[in-house]
Structure 1
Amino acid sequence: MSTETPPAGFSENGVRLQKVLANAGVASRRVIEQYIVEGRIRVNGSVVTELGRRIDPENDLVDVDGTAVQLDTGKRYVMLNKPTGVVSSMKDEKGRADLRRFTKDYEERLYNVGRLDAETSGLLILTNDGDLAHVLAHPSFGVTKVYIAKVEGVVTAQTIAKLTKGIELEDGLIVADKARLLDSSAGSSLVELTLHSGRNRIVRRMLAAVGHPVTELVRRQFGPLHLGTLPAGKSRELTKIELGALLTLSRQDSPAEGASDAPAADRGDAQENE
Protein backbone atom coordinates (compact mmCIF):
# COMPACT_ATOMS: atom_id res chain seq x y z
CA MET A 1 0.00 0.00 0.00
CA SER A 2 1.33 3.44 -0.95
CA THR A 3 2.38 5.74 1.86
CA GLU A 4 2.89 8.76 -0.38
CA THR A 5 1.66 11.96 1.23
CA PRO A 6 -1.23 13.50 -0.74
CA PRO A 7 -0.85 17.10 -1.92
CA ALA A 8 -2.11 19.95 0.27
CA GLY A 9 -5.87 20.36 -0.02
CA PHE A 10 -6.33 16.84 -1.46
CA SER A 11 -9.73 15.37 -0.66
CA GLU A 12 -10.71 11.71 -0.98
CA ASN A 13 -14.37 12.66 -0.57
CA GLY A 14 -14.65 15.38 -3.20
CA VAL A 15 -15.68 15.27 -6.85
CA ARG A 16 -13.32 14.08 -9.58
CA LEU A 17 -11.55 17.01 -11.18
CA GLN A 18 -12.41 15.79 -14.68
CA LYS A 19 -16.12 15.82 -13.90
CA VAL A 20 -16.06 19.25 -12.30
CA LEU A 21 -14.19 20.87 -15.20
CA ALA A 22 -16.36 19.12 -17.78
CA ASN A 23 -19.48 20.43 -16.01
CA ALA A 24 -17.94 23.90 -16.06
CA GLY A 25 -17.63 23.65 -19.83
CA VAL A 26 -13.83 23.61 -20.01
CA ALA A 27 -13.54 20.50 -22.18
CA SER A 28 -14.54 16.84 -22.28
CA ARG A 29 -13.35 14.56 -19.49
CA ARG A 30 -10.96 12.84 -21.89
CA VAL A 31 -9.40 16.12 -22.94
CA ILE A 32 -9.13 17.23 -19.32
CA GLU A 33 -7.29 14.01 -18.48
CA GLN A 34 -4.79 14.90 -21.18
CA TYR A 35 -4.43 18.37 -19.64
CA ILE A 36 -3.63 16.75 -16.29
CA VAL A 37 -1.00 14.53 -17.88
CA GLU A 38 0.54 17.61 -19.51
CA GLY A 39 0.61 19.48 -16.19
CA ARG A 40 -1.70 22.25 -17.40
CA ILE A 41 -4.13 22.24 -14.45
CA ARG A 42 -3.56 23.63 -10.96
CA VAL A 43 -5.69 23.32 -7.83
CA ASN A 44 -5.08 25.98 -5.19
CA GLY A 45 -1.84 26.91 -6.95
CA SER A 46 -0.37 23.38 -7.14
CA VAL A 47 -0.03 21.44 -10.39
CA VAL A 48 -2.23 18.34 -10.50
CA THR A 49 -0.43 15.17 -11.54
CA GLU A 50 -2.84 12.38 -10.56
CA LEU A 51 -5.82 11.50 -12.76
CA GLY A 52 -7.87 10.46 -9.75
CA ARG A 53 -7.68 13.86 -8.08
CA ARG A 54 -10.85 14.91 -6.29
CA ILE A 55 -11.67 18.47 -5.29
CA ASP A 56 -14.22 20.48 -3.35
CA PRO A 57 -15.88 22.65 -6.02
CA GLU A 58 -17.20 25.10 -3.42
CA ASN A 59 -13.82 25.93 -1.89
CA ASP A 60 -11.00 24.86 -4.21
CA LEU A 61 -9.61 27.25 -6.84
CA VAL A 62 -8.76 25.74 -10.22
CA ASP A 63 -6.95 27.22 -13.18
CA VAL A 64 -6.09 25.81 -16.61
CA ASP A 65 -3.02 27.16 -18.39
CA GLY A 66 -2.91 29.90 -15.77
CA THR A 67 -6.47 31.06 -16.42
CA ALA A 68 -8.96 30.76 -13.56
CA VAL A 69 -12.08 28.62 -14.00
CA GLN A 70 -15.45 29.32 -12.38
CA LEU A 71 -16.69 26.01 -10.94
CA ASP A 72 -19.99 27.41 -9.70
CA THR A 73 -22.35 27.12 -12.65
CA GLY A 74 -24.91 29.26 -10.81
CA LYS A 75 -22.82 32.40 -11.26
CA ARG A 76 -23.78 34.72 -14.10
CA TYR A 77 -21.67 37.40 -15.78
CA VAL A 78 -23.16 39.90 -18.22
CA MET A 79 -21.69 42.83 -20.13
CA LEU A 80 -24.05 45.75 -20.73
CA ASN A 81 -23.52 48.79 -22.92
CA LYS A 82 -25.44 51.15 -20.65
CA PRO A 83 -27.13 53.90 -22.64
CA THR A 84 -27.32 57.49 -21.46
CA GLY A 85 -30.39 58.41 -19.44
CA VAL A 86 -30.25 55.24 -17.32
CA VAL A 87 -29.12 55.35 -13.69
CA SER A 88 -26.86 52.60 -12.34
CA SER A 89 -29.34 51.22 -9.85
CA MET A 90 -31.73 48.29 -9.68
CA LYS A 91 -34.45 50.59 -8.31
CA ASP A 92 -34.33 54.35 -8.51
CA GLU A 93 -36.13 56.21 -5.74
CA LYS A 94 -36.83 59.12 -8.08
CA GLY A 95 -38.53 56.91 -10.66
CA ARG A 96 -35.86 57.36 -13.34
CA ALA A 97 -35.01 54.66 -15.85
CA ASP A 98 -32.85 52.05 -14.10
CA LEU A 99 -31.11 48.74 -14.82
CA ARG A 100 -34.07 46.44 -14.16
CA ARG A 101 -35.01 46.40 -17.83
CA PHE A 102 -31.66 44.75 -18.61
CA THR A 103 -31.84 42.09 -15.88
CA LYS A 104 -35.52 41.03 -15.93
CA ASP A 105 -34.92 38.18 -18.38
CA TYR A 106 -32.27 36.51 -16.22
CA GLU A 107 -33.27 33.91 -13.67
CA GLU A 108 -30.57 35.04 -11.25
CA ARG A 109 -30.69 38.33 -9.35
CA LEU A 110 -27.98 40.40 -11.00
CA TYR A 111 -26.36 43.55 -9.68
CA ASN A 112 -24.14 46.16 -11.27
CA VAL A 113 -20.41 46.31 -10.52
CA GLY A 114 -19.72 49.93 -9.70
CA ARG A 115 -21.64 52.72 -11.38
CA LEU A 116 -21.74 55.01 -14.37
CA ASP A 117 -23.66 58.25 -13.95
CA ALA A 118 -26.86 58.69 -15.92
CA GLU A 119 -25.28 60.75 -18.70
CA THR A 120 -22.33 58.38 -19.16
CA SER A 121 -22.71 55.39 -21.46
CA GLY A 122 -20.62 52.29 -21.90
CA LEU A 123 -19.39 49.10 -20.34
CA LEU A 124 -21.09 47.98 -17.14
CA ILE A 125 -20.81 44.51 -15.64
CA LEU A 126 -23.86 42.78 -14.16
CA THR A 127 -23.32 39.71 -11.98
CA ASN A 128 -24.44 37.72 -8.95
CA ASP A 129 -20.82 37.05 -7.92
CA GLY A 130 -20.28 39.33 -4.93
CA ASP A 131 -16.62 38.44 -4.41
CA LEU A 132 -15.73 39.27 -7.98
CA ALA A 133 -17.77 42.47 -7.85
CA HIS A 134 -15.85 43.69 -4.79
CA VAL A 135 -12.45 43.18 -6.42
CA LEU A 136 -13.46 44.79 -9.71
CA ALA A 137 -15.12 47.83 -8.16
CA HIS A 138 -12.74 48.70 -5.35
CA PRO A 139 -9.91 51.05 -6.39
CA SER A 140 -7.38 49.41 -4.06
CA PHE A 141 -7.17 46.47 -6.47
CA GLY A 142 -6.07 48.74 -9.31
CA VAL A 143 -8.48 47.49 -11.99
CA THR A 144 -8.17 49.95 -14.86
CA LYS A 145 -10.99 51.47 -16.88
CA VAL A 146 -10.67 53.19 -20.24
CA TYR A 147 -12.92 56.12 -21.17
CA ILE A 148 -13.34 58.18 -24.30
CA ALA A 149 -14.52 61.71 -23.65
CA LYS A 150 -15.69 64.33 -26.10
CA VAL A 151 -14.74 67.68 -24.59
CA GLU A 152 -15.07 71.35 -25.38
CA GLY A 153 -12.08 73.08 -26.94
CA VAL A 154 -8.86 71.98 -28.58
CA VAL A 155 -6.79 69.81 -26.25
CA THR A 156 -3.03 70.33 -26.48
CA ALA A 157 -0.12 68.02 -25.79
CA GLN A 158 0.61 70.09 -22.68
CA THR A 159 -2.88 69.36 -21.35
CA ILE A 160 -2.42 65.64 -21.95
CA ALA A 161 0.83 65.82 -20.00
CA LYS A 162 -0.95 67.51 -17.10
CA LEU A 163 -3.43 64.64 -16.87
CA THR A 164 -0.66 62.05 -16.50
CA LYS A 165 1.48 64.17 -14.17
CA GLY A 166 -1.38 64.76 -11.76
CA ILE A 167 -4.11 67.28 -11.02
CA GLU A 168 -5.01 68.59 -7.58
CA LEU A 169 -8.77 68.34 -7.01
CA GLU A 170 -10.82 69.25 -3.94
CA ASP A 171 -10.52 65.65 -2.68
CA GLY A 172 -6.83 65.24 -3.43
CA LEU A 173 -4.35 64.55 -6.21
CA ILE A 174 -5.47 62.42 -9.15
CA VAL A 175 -3.19 61.00 -11.83
CA ALA A 176 -4.32 59.35 -15.05
CA ASP A 177 -2.62 56.03 -15.73
CA LYS A 178 -2.63 56.95 -19.41
CA ALA A 179 -3.99 59.79 -21.52
CA ARG A 180 -3.94 60.49 -25.23
CA LEU A 181 -5.57 62.80 -27.73
CA LEU A 182 -7.57 60.90 -30.35
CA ASP A 183 -8.93 63.77 -32.41
CA SER A 184 -9.38 67.52 -32.38
CA SER A 185 -11.58 69.46 -34.77
CA ALA A 186 -14.38 72.01 -34.97
CA GLY A 187 -13.78 73.32 -31.47
CA SER A 188 -13.95 69.96 -29.70
CA SER A 189 -11.62 67.06 -28.94
CA LEU A 190 -11.72 63.34 -28.23
CA VAL A 191 -9.57 62.24 -25.29
CA GLU A 192 -8.90 58.71 -24.11
CA LEU A 193 -8.24 58.33 -20.36
CA THR A 194 -7.17 55.22 -18.48
CA LEU A 195 -7.80 55.25 -14.72
CA HIS A 196 -8.11 52.89 -11.78
CA SER A 197 -9.71 55.46 -9.48
CA GLY A 198 -13.22 54.93 -8.13
CA ARG A 199 -13.83 58.54 -7.16
CA ASN A 200 -17.15 60.11 -7.93
CA ARG A 201 -17.41 61.58 -11.48
CA ILE A 202 -13.62 61.63 -11.65
CA VAL A 203 -13.26 61.77 -15.44
CA ARG A 204 -15.55 64.76 -15.76
CA ARG A 205 -13.87 66.56 -12.87
CA MET A 206 -10.36 65.96 -14.22
CA LEU A 207 -11.16 67.28 -17.66
CA ALA A 208 -13.08 70.26 -16.30
CA ALA A 209 -10.08 71.08 -14.11
CA VAL A 210 -7.83 71.39 -17.17
CA GLY A 211 -10.35 73.63 -18.94
CA HIS A 212 -12.14 71.10 -21.13
CA PRO A 213 -15.65 70.24 -19.89
CA VAL A 214 -17.01 66.88 -21.01
CA THR A 215 -19.95 66.87 -23.42
CA GLU A 216 -20.07 63.10 -24.02
CA LEU A 217 -18.48 60.23 -22.10
CA VAL A 218 -18.31 56.49 -22.73
CA ARG A 219 -16.47 53.73 -20.91
CA ARG A 220 -14.91 51.41 -23.48
CA GLN A 221 -12.94 49.02 -21.29
CA PHE A 222 -13.14 47.56 -17.79
CA GLY A 223 -10.10 45.52 -16.79
CA PRO A 224 -9.62 42.90 -19.53
CA LEU A 225 -13.11 43.47 -20.98
CA HIS A 226 -13.63 45.52 -24.14
CA LEU A 227 -16.99 46.93 -25.23
CA GLY A 228 -16.25 46.14 -28.86
CA THR A 229 -19.24 46.49 -31.19
CA LEU A 230 -21.94 45.85 -28.56
CA PRO A 231 -24.68 48.41 -29.34
CA ALA A 232 -25.95 50.83 -26.70
CA GLY A 233 -28.75 49.29 -24.67
CA LYS A 234 -27.72 45.73 -25.48
CA SER A 235 -26.17 43.09 -23.25
CA ARG A 236 -24.47 39.72 -23.65
CA GLU A 237 -22.97 37.07 -21.42
CA LEU A 238 -19.20 37.04 -21.14
CA THR A 239 -17.29 34.53 -23.20
CA LYS A 240 -15.29 31.83 -21.40
CA ILE A 241 -12.08 33.66 -22.31
CA GLU A 242 -13.39 36.96 -20.91
CA LEU A 243 -14.65 35.30 -17.75
CA GLY A 244 -11.37 33.47 -17.26
CA ALA A 245 -9.47 36.73 -17.55
CA LEU A 246 -11.76 38.41 -15.00
CA LEU A 247 -11.52 35.55 -12.51
CA THR A 248 -7.75 35.39 -12.86
CA LEU A 249 -7.62 39.11 -12.10
CA SER A 250 -9.92 38.75 -9.08
CA ARG A 251 -7.78 36.00 -7.56
CA GLN A 252 -4.65 38.09 -7.33
CA ASP A 253 -3.26 37.83 -3.82
CA SER A 254 -3.07 41.50 -2.91
CA PRO A 255 -4.22 44.95 -4.02
CA ALA A 256 -2.04 46.80 -6.49
CA GLU A 257 0.71 48.78 -4.79
CA GLY A 258 -0.16 52.46 -4.57
CA ALA A 259 -3.52 51.86 -6.23
CA SER A 260 -5.73 53.23 -3.50
CA ASP A 261 -5.97 56.91 -4.32
CA ALA A 262 -9.53 57.33 -3.09
CA PRO A 263 -10.44 58.80 0.29
CA ALA A 264 -11.24 56.23 2.96
CA ALA A 265 -14.93 57.00 2.81
CA ASP A 266 -14.98 56.74 -1.00
CA ARG A 267 -15.78 53.07 -1.53
CA GLY A 268 -15.20 52.04 -5.12
CA ASP A 269 -18.11 49.60 -5.04
CA ALA A 270 -20.50 52.44 -4.27
CA GLN A 271 -18.88 55.46 -5.90
CA GLU A 272 -17.87 54.74 -9.44
CA ASN A 273 -19.91 57.42 -11.09
CA GLU A 274 -17.78 58.68 -13.94
Structure 2
Amino acid sequence: MTPPARRDGTPDRKRPRPQRGRRPSGEKASDIFVSNAKPARRQHVSADRARQATQSTSGQGVRLQKVLARAGVASRRQAEKLIDDARVEVNGQIVTVQGMRVDPDTAVIRVDGVRIRVNDDMMYFVLNKPRGVQSTMSDDLDRPCVGDIVGEKIAAGQRLFHVGRLDADTEGLLLLTNDGELANRLMHPSYEVTKTYMATVTGEADQKLVTALTTGMDLEDGFAKADKAKIIDAFQGKSLVLVELHEGRTHIVRRLLKEAGFPVERLVRTKIHTVQLGEQTPGAIRALNDSELRSLYKAVGM
Protein backbone atom coordinates (compact mmCIF):
# COMPACT_ATOMS: atom_id res chain seq x y z
CA MET A 1 0.00 0.00 0.00
CA THR A 2 1.32 3.41 -0.98
CA PRO A 3 0.84 6.05 1.74
CA PRO A 4 -0.43 9.50 0.76
CA ALA A 5 2.02 12.21 -0.23
CA ARG A 6 1.23 14.24 2.88
CA ARG A 7 1.35 12.66 6.32
CA ASP A 8 -1.93 14.25 7.39
CA GLY A 9 -3.75 13.20 4.24
CA THR A 10 -4.65 16.74 3.25
CA PRO A 11 -3.35 19.06 0.52
CA ASP A 12 -1.02 21.87 1.48
CA ARG A 13 -3.14 24.98 1.08
CA LYS A 14 -1.06 28.11 1.38
CA ARG A 15 -2.72 31.32 2.40
CA PRO A 16 -2.09 34.29 0.11
CA ARG A 17 0.51 36.66 1.48
CA PRO A 18 -0.95 40.08 2.27
CA GLN A 19 0.34 42.92 0.11
CA ARG A 20 2.66 45.24 1.98
CA GLY A 21 1.51 48.77 2.46
CA ARG A 22 -2.21 48.18 1.82
CA ARG A 23 -4.75 49.42 4.37
CA PRO A 24 -8.32 48.29 4.95
CA SER A 25 -10.97 50.25 3.08
CA GLY A 26 -11.84 53.46 4.83
CA GLU A 27 -8.70 53.58 6.94
CA LYS A 28 -6.83 56.89 6.94
CA ALA A 29 -3.22 57.11 5.87
CA SER A 30 -2.32 58.26 9.37
CA ASP A 31 -3.68 55.04 10.87
CA ILE A 32 -1.23 52.29 11.72
CA PHE A 33 -2.07 48.70 10.75
CA VAL A 34 -0.49 46.33 13.25
CA SER A 35 0.38 43.07 11.50
CA ASN A 36 3.64 41.89 13.05
CA ALA A 37 2.46 41.34 16.60
CA LYS A 38 3.63 38.09 18.20
CA PRO A 39 1.42 36.18 20.64
CA ALA A 40 2.59 36.36 24.21
CA ARG A 41 3.44 33.70 26.76
CA ARG A 42 0.69 34.67 29.21
CA GLN A 43 -2.65 36.34 28.60
CA HIS A 44 -3.39 37.21 32.21
CA VAL A 45 -1.38 38.59 35.09
CA SER A 46 -1.94 38.84 38.83
CA ALA A 47 -2.32 42.18 40.60
CA ASP A 48 1.09 41.80 42.26
CA ARG A 49 2.77 41.05 38.95
CA ALA A 50 0.97 43.98 37.37
CA ARG A 51 2.32 46.38 39.97
CA GLN A 52 5.83 44.98 39.50
CA ALA A 53 5.66 45.08 35.72
CA THR A 54 4.33 48.63 35.33
CA GLN A 55 6.67 51.42 36.39
CA SER A 56 6.27 55.17 36.68
CA THR A 57 7.51 57.50 34.00
CA SER A 58 10.63 58.17 36.04
CA GLY A 59 11.22 54.67 37.46
CA GLN A 60 13.18 51.69 36.25
CA GLY A 61 12.28 49.59 33.23
CA VAL A 62 12.13 50.20 29.48
CA ARG A 63 10.04 52.89 27.81
CA LEU A 64 6.83 51.41 26.44
CA GLN A 65 7.30 52.75 22.91
CA LYS A 66 10.76 51.17 22.80
CA VAL A 67 9.34 47.81 23.90
CA LEU A 68 6.71 48.00 21.16
CA ALA A 69 9.34 48.85 18.57
CA ARG A 70 11.55 45.93 19.65
CA ALA A 71 8.57 43.58 19.35
CA GLY A 72 8.16 44.56 15.70
CA VAL A 73 4.78 46.22 16.19
CA ALA A 74 5.78 49.59 14.77
CA SER A 75 8.59 52.11 14.73
CA ARG A 76 9.17 54.05 17.94
CA ARG A 77 7.47 57.15 16.51
CA GLN A 78 4.51 55.08 15.31
CA ALA A 79 4.35 53.39 18.73
CA GLU A 80 3.98 56.84 20.31
CA LYS A 81 1.05 57.48 17.96
CA LEU A 82 -0.53 54.17 19.05
CA ILE A 83 -0.25 55.30 22.68
CA ASP A 84 -1.74 58.72 21.90
CA ASP A 85 -4.66 56.98 20.16
CA ALA A 86 -5.36 54.84 23.26
CA ARG A 87 -4.67 51.62 21.35
CA VAL A 88 -2.12 50.25 23.83
CA GLU A 89 -3.01 48.39 27.02
CA VAL A 90 -0.59 47.44 29.81
CA ASN A 91 -1.73 45.02 32.50
CA GLY A 92 -5.38 45.69 31.75
CA GLN A 93 -5.11 49.50 31.69
CA ILE A 94 -5.25 51.71 28.58
CA VAL A 95 -2.13 53.87 28.33
CA THR A 96 -2.36 57.40 26.91
CA VAL A 97 0.65 59.07 28.58
CA GLN A 98 4.05 58.95 26.90
CA GLY A 99 7.12 57.84 28.83
CA MET A 100 5.71 54.90 30.80
CA ARG A 101 8.36 52.34 31.66
CA VAL A 102 7.60 48.61 31.87
CA ASP A 103 9.41 45.37 32.60
CA PRO A 104 9.32 43.43 29.28
CA ASP A 105 9.71 40.09 31.08
CA THR A 106 6.55 40.49 33.16
CA ALA A 107 4.31 43.14 31.61
CA VAL A 108 1.15 42.08 29.77
CA ILE A 109 0.94 44.35 26.73
CA ARG A 110 -1.81 44.45 24.11
CA VAL A 111 -2.23 46.55 20.98
CA ASP A 112 -5.78 46.74 19.61
CA GLY A 113 -6.60 43.83 21.90
CA VAL A 114 -3.85 41.59 20.50
CA ARG A 115 -1.40 40.30 23.10
CA ILE A 116 2.22 41.14 22.19
CA ARG A 117 5.07 38.78 22.99
CA VAL A 118 7.97 40.89 24.17
CA ASN A 119 10.06 38.19 25.88
CA ASP A 120 12.41 36.80 23.24
CA ASP A 121 13.75 34.17 25.65
CA MET A 122 10.73 31.94 24.97
CA MET A 123 11.45 29.23 22.39
CA TYR A 124 8.93 27.08 20.46
CA PHE A 125 9.84 24.25 18.07
CA VAL A 126 8.25 21.40 16.12
CA LEU A 127 10.25 18.18 15.90
CA ASN A 128 9.45 15.24 13.64
CA LYS A 129 10.47 12.51 16.08
CA PRO A 130 11.84 9.47 14.24
CA ARG A 131 10.79 5.94 15.09
CA GLY A 132 12.99 4.33 17.75
CA VAL A 133 13.79 7.61 19.52
CA GLN A 134 12.78 8.06 23.17
CA SER A 135 10.73 11.13 24.11
CA THR A 136 13.25 12.23 26.72
CA MET A 137 16.03 14.80 26.83
CA SER A 138 18.47 12.17 28.15
CA ASP A 139 18.39 8.39 28.61
CA ASP A 140 20.05 6.37 31.39
CA LEU A 141 20.27 3.33 29.10
CA ASP A 142 22.04 5.34 26.40
CA ARG A 143 19.20 4.82 23.92
CA PRO A 144 18.61 7.41 21.17
CA CYS A 145 16.48 10.25 22.55
CA VAL A 146 15.11 13.68 21.65
CA GLY A 147 17.96 15.31 23.57
CA ASP A 148 20.41 13.88 21.02
CA ILE A 149 18.60 15.66 18.19
CA VAL A 150 18.40 19.06 19.92
CA GLY A 151 21.75 18.70 21.69
CA GLU A 152 23.24 21.82 20.11
CA LYS A 153 20.39 23.99 21.40
CA ILE A 154 20.73 22.51 24.89
CA ALA A 155 24.49 23.07 24.81
CA ALA A 156 23.84 26.68 23.86
CA GLY A 157 21.93 27.16 27.10
CA GLN A 158 18.37 26.90 25.76
CA ARG A 159 16.50 24.81 28.33
CA LEU A 160 13.99 22.96 26.16
CA PHE A 161 11.58 20.23 27.15
CA HIS A 162 9.02 18.18 25.23
CA VAL A 163 5.26 18.77 25.48
CA GLY A 164 3.83 15.35 26.24
CA ARG A 165 5.33 12.15 24.88
CA LEU A 166 5.36 9.81 21.92
CA ASP A 167 6.38 6.23 22.65
CA ALA A 168 9.56 5.02 20.98
CA ASP A 169 7.70 3.19 18.19
CA THR A 170 5.50 6.19 17.37
CA GLU A 171 6.77 8.85 14.98
CA GLY A 172 5.80 12.40 14.24
CA LEU A 173 5.02 15.79 15.68
CA LEU A 174 6.48 16.64 19.08
CA LEU A 175 6.44 20.18 20.46
CA LEU A 176 9.54 21.48 22.27
CA THR A 177 9.59 24.67 24.34
CA ASN A 178 10.84 26.38 27.48
CA ASP A 179 7.39 27.92 28.09
CA GLY A 180 6.17 25.90 31.06
CA GLU A 181 2.74 27.53 31.27
CA LEU A 182 1.86 26.78 27.65
CA ALA A 183 3.20 23.22 27.94
CA ASN A 184 1.16 22.49 31.05
CA ARG A 185 -2.05 23.78 29.50
CA LEU A 186 -1.54 21.86 26.25
CA MET A 187 -1.17 18.64 28.25
CA HIS A 188 -4.05 19.30 30.65
CA PRO A 189 -7.16 17.30 29.66
CA SER A 190 -9.56 20.14 30.52
CA TYR A 191 -8.45 22.12 27.43
CA GLU A 192 -9.17 19.16 25.11
CA VAL A 193 -6.43 20.00 22.62
CA THR A 194 -6.83 17.61 19.68
CA LYS A 195 -4.08 15.43 18.22
CA THR A 196 -4.25 13.76 14.80
CA TYR A 197 -2.59 10.45 13.92
CA MET A 198 -2.12 8.39 10.76
CA ALA A 199 -2.13 4.68 11.60
CA THR A 200 -1.17 1.84 9.28
CA VAL A 201 -3.10 -1.19 10.57
CA THR A 202 -3.39 -4.88 9.76
CA GLY A 203 -6.64 -5.65 7.95
CA GLU A 204 -8.76 -3.91 5.33
CA ALA A 205 -10.94 -1.52 7.35
CA ASP A 206 -14.35 -0.16 6.40
CA GLN A 207 -16.99 2.15 7.86
CA LYS A 208 -17.58 -0.29 10.73
CA LEU A 209 -14.17 0.66 12.15
CA VAL A 210 -14.98 4.38 11.89
CA THR A 211 -18.24 3.81 13.75
CA ALA A 212 -16.53 1.74 16.45
CA LEU A 213 -13.83 4.38 17.03
CA THR A 214 -16.19 7.36 17.18
CA THR A 215 -18.86 5.55 19.21
CA GLY A 216 -16.24 4.41 21.70
CA MET A 217 -15.40 1.28 23.62
CA ASP A 218 -14.46 0.12 27.09
CA LEU A 219 -10.74 -0.35 27.68
CA GLU A 220 -9.03 -1.70 30.78
CA ASP A 221 -8.74 1.83 32.23
CA GLY A 222 -12.18 3.09 31.21
CA PHE A 223 -14.27 4.23 28.28
CA ALA A 224 -12.50 5.89 25.33
CA LYS A 225 -13.39 7.12 21.87
CA ALA A 226 -12.03 9.13 18.97
CA ASP A 227 -13.35 12.57 18.06
CA LYS A 228 -12.95 11.75 14.38
CA ALA A 229 -11.88 8.76 12.27
CA LYS A 230 -11.51 8.25 8.53
CA ILE A 231 -10.32 5.42 6.28
CA ILE A 232 -7.70 6.93 3.95
CA ASP A 233 -6.83 3.73 2.09
CA ALA A 234 -7.38 -0.02 2.33
CA PHE A 235 -5.45 -2.41 0.08
CA GLN A 236 -3.81 -5.83 0.16
CA GLY A 237 -4.60 -6.63 3.78
CA LYS A 238 -3.63 -3.25 5.25
CA SER A 239 -5.35 0.08 5.89
CA LEU A 240 -4.33 3.67 6.49
CA VAL A 241 -6.60 5.24 9.11
CA LEU A 242 -6.79 8.85 10.32
CA VAL A 243 -7.64 9.16 14.02
CA GLU A 244 -8.24 12.47 15.82
CA LEU A 245 -8.78 12.66 19.57
CA HIS A 246 -8.01 14.75 22.64
CA GLU A 247 -7.35 11.78 24.92
CA GLY A 248 -3.95 11.72 26.60
CA ARG A 249 -3.85 8.22 28.03
CA THR A 250 -0.85 6.01 27.30
CA HIS A 251 -0.95 4.23 23.91
CA ILE A 252 -4.59 5.26 23.52
CA VAL A 253 -4.64 5.14 19.69
CA ARG A 254 -2.93 1.76 19.55
CA ARG A 255 -5.25 0.34 22.20
CA LEU A 256 -8.41 1.61 20.51
CA LEU A 257 -7.44 0.15 17.16
CA LYS A 258 -6.36 -3.16 18.67
CA GLU A 259 -9.64 -3.43 20.60
CA ALA A 260 -11.48 -2.82 17.31
CA GLY A 261 -9.57 -5.69 15.70
CA PHE A 262 -7.01 -3.70 13.69
CA PRO A 263 -3.57 -3.84 15.37
CA VAL A 264 -1.23 -0.96 14.51
CA GLU A 265 1.86 -1.58 12.38
CA ARG A 266 2.96 2.04 12.13
CA LEU A 267 1.75 5.20 13.89
CA VAL A 268 2.56 8.83 13.03
CA ARG A 269 1.27 11.93 14.82
CA THR A 270 0.71 14.54 12.12
CA LYS A 271 -1.02 17.40 13.90
CA ILE A 272 -1.58 19.08 17.29
CA HIS A 273 -4.52 21.48 17.15
CA THR A 274 -3.65 23.56 14.04
CA VAL A 275 0.10 22.85 14.03
CA GLN A 276 0.86 20.37 11.24
CA LEU A 277 3.86 18.21 10.46
CA GLY A 278 3.41 18.64 6.72
CA GLU A 279 6.45 17.61 4.69
CA GLN A 280 8.90 17.90 7.59
CA THR A 281 11.32 14.96 7.37
CA PRO A 282 12.09 12.62 10.33
CA GLY A 283 14.62 14.24 12.66
CA ALA A 284 14.00 17.74 11.29
CA ILE A 285 13.19 20.59 13.66
CA ARG A 286 11.68 24.01 12.90
CA ALA A 287 10.43 27.01 14.85
CA LEU A 288 6.70 27.61 15.20
CA ASN A 289 5.51 30.58 13.20
CA ASP A 290 3.49 33.38 14.80
CA SER A 291 0.17 32.11 13.45
CA GLU A 292 0.72 28.63 14.89
CA LEU A 293 1.79 29.97 18.25
CA ARG A 294 -1.14 32.36 18.41
CA SER A 295 -3.50 29.48 17.65
CA LEU A 296 -2.08 27.35 20.47
CA TYR A 297 -2.39 30.19 22.97
CA LYS A 298 -6.00 30.74 21.95
CA ALA A 299 -6.77 27.03 22.32
CA VAL A 300 -5.67 27.03 25.96
CA GLY A 301 -7.03 30.46 26.92
CA MET A 302 -3.73 32.31 27.17
Q: TM-score range by the shorter chain?
A: 0.7 to 0.9
Deviations, residues 81-100 of structure 1 (Å, cap 9, x unaligned): 11101000011122210112
Amino acid at match of 2:255: R
Task: Name which of structure 1's ranges 100-109 and 20-29 shifts more when overlaid on structure 2.
Answer: 20-29
Query: 2:204 maps to what in 1?
Result: 154
Deviation at 1:109, TM superposition (A): 1.7
Whether 1:216 aligns to 2:266 is yes
Rounded to whole Å, the distance in 2 between the matches of 1:208 and 1:41 is 54
Normalising by structure 1, report the TM-score.
0.79
| Bigger-Rg structure (1/2) | 2
User: How do 1:1-274 residues align onto structure 2 when only pairs under 5 Å count?
Assistant: 11-12=55-56, 13=59, 14-33=61-80, 42-44=89-91, 54-64=101-111, 67-106=114-153, 107=156, 108-252=158-302
Contact 1:68 1:244 in 2 (8 A): no
Q: Which amino acid letter does the alignment assign opposite residue 22 of structure 1?
A: A
Q: Which runs of 5+ in 2 are unaligned?
A: 1-49
Task: Note closer, same or farther for the CA distance 1:34–1:209 as it changes in structure 2 (3 Å cut).
Answer: farther
Kindly tell me the number of residue pairs found equivalent between the two proteins. Answer: 245
Distance 2:117 2:129 in 1: 25
State the Cα distance separating 1:65 from its structure 2 match: 5.7
Q: Which amino acid aligns with 1:246?
A: L
TM-score if structure 2 supplies the norm length? 0.72
Q: Is the 8 A contact 1:83 1:122 kept in 2?
A: yes
1:151-201 CA-partner distances (Å, limit 9, x unpaired): 111222122012112211111111211111111111111111111111001
Residues 77-129 of structure 1 show CA distances to partners (whole Å, capped at 9, x for unaligned) of: 11111110100001112221011222222121211111101111111111111
Alignment check: 8 A CA contact 2:138 2:148 kept: no
Among all aligned residue pairs of Structure 1 and Structure 2, give the percentage whose two residues are the same amino acid: 46
Secondary structure of 1:105's match? helix
* In structure 1, C-alpha distance between the alignment counterparts of 2:224 and 2:206, rounded to whole Å: 19
Task: Pick closer, same or farther for the CA change 1:186–1:44 going to 2, 3 Å.
Answer: farther
Amino acid at match of 1:146: T
Distance 2:196 2:227 in 1: 10
- Is the CA contact (8 Å cut-off) linking 2:231 and 2:241 kept in structure 1? yes
1:182 partner amino acid: I
Whether the 8 Å CA contact 1:21–1:27 is kept in 2: the answer is yes
SS at match of 1:75: coil
Change (3 A) 1:120 1:32: farther
Tell me, yes or no, if the aligned pair for 2:196 and 2:243 is still in contact at 8 Å. yes
Which AA in structure 2 matches 1:205?
A: R
- Structure 1: state its 5+ residue gaps: 1-7, 253-274
Match of 2:10?
none
The residue type equivalent to 2:258 in the other structure is: A
Q: What RMSD, in angstroms, separates the aligned Cα atoms of the two structures?
A: 2.5
User: 1:70 is matched by which residue type in structure 2?
Assistant: R
